[in-house]
Amino acid sequence: EAQVTQNPRYLITVTGKKLTVTCSQNMNHEYMSWYRQDPGLGLRQIYYSMNVEVTDKGDVPEGYKVSRKEKRNFPLILESPSPNQTSLYFCASSSAGTYTDTQYFGPGTRLTVL
């Protein structure tokens, strides 16, 4: 089954404790992206990747890191989480690496930083 998976689905942590949210897709997609979703603000893009070893900042990259060492994986790293990073996070992927393609979303990770 074609899908985007994220782990963990739920995470409660404390300020400053480094964490990684994994994202993996099995569709051989070139383009992958991370979003956060907050009430009233919609989905905001954090980082995106056009292909292996190619990443770029979205609209809200501060406090986040990403890497793209393999085509299928695109982990999101919070080196020192803060309470304002409490949010619902989605990973997405699309084929051909262009803006015209439909993005397929993972199930989401609900993160709470205390």
Partner 1 sequence: QKEVEQNSGPLSVPEGAIASLNCTYSDRGSQSFFWYRQYSGKSPELIMFIYSNGDKEDGRFTAQLNKASQYVSLLIRDSQPSDSATYLCAVGGQTGGFKTIFGAGTRLFVKA
Residues of this chain that interact with partner 1 (CB under 8 A) are 31, 33, 35, 40-45, 48, 50, 56, 58-59, 90, 97-100, 102-103, 105-108
Minimum gap (Å) between residue 50 Cβ and partner 1 = 7
Taking the least distance from each CB to partner 1, the nearer of 75 and 106 is 106
Minimum gap (Å) between residue 102 Cβ and partner 1 = 5
**Cα 59–chain centre separation:** 13
Q: What tokens does 56 get?
A: 């770029």
Minimum gap (Å) between residue 56 Cβ and partner 1 = 7
Q: What is the CA radius of gyration of the chain?
A: 13
- Helix H, strand E, coil C: the string for 24-72 is EECCCCCEEEEEEEECCCEEEEEEEEEECCEEEECCCCCCCEECCCCCC
Taking the least distance from each CB to partner 1, the nearer of 37 and 67 is 37
Taking the least distance from each CB to partner 1, the nearer of 63 and 108 is 108
Do 21 and 76 contact (CB within 8 A), yes or no? yes
Minimum gap (Å) between residue 92 Cβ and partner 1 = 8
| Pairing between β-strand 109-113 and β-strand 10-13 as defined by DSSP bridges | parallel
Taking the least distance from each CB to partner 1, the nearer of 25 and 33 is 33
